[in-house]
Amino acid sequence: MSRLPRISGKEVISVLRRLDFDVVRIKGSHHFLKHSDGRVTVVPVHSKEIIGPGLMNKILKDCDISRDDFVKSL
């Protein structure tokens, strides 16, 4: 199992877009992303703030993506 990189919310969204997720709405700093098969997640985008490991694991679990697949998509 690979270690997750420390990246910002904008970078997480760009990786998820490559994996066919679309931003369906934005409320404040929270971007709601949805896949065509129904998987959804929320990614906070705060300027110059890194997504913590706990939240990153939650996002990957919501999206049903393995750590390795996420790192390969970077």
pLDDT band at 5 (very low <50, low <70, confident <90, very high): confident
Query: Residue 33's domain spans which residues?
Result: 9-72
CATH number at residue 38: 3.30.920.30
Residue 3 within a domain: no
Domains: count for the chain: 1
Q: What would you report as the CA-atom Rg of the chain, rounded to the nearest whole angstrom? A: 11
Residue 1 within a domain: no
pLDDT in tens, 33-54: 999 999 999 999 998 899 999 9
Specify whether the CB–CB gap between 73 and 18 falls below 8 A: yes
pLDDT at residue 4, as a whole number: 85
Residue 60 within a domain: yes
Q: Residue 7: pLDDT above 70? A: yes
**Which pTM does this prediction carry?**
0.92
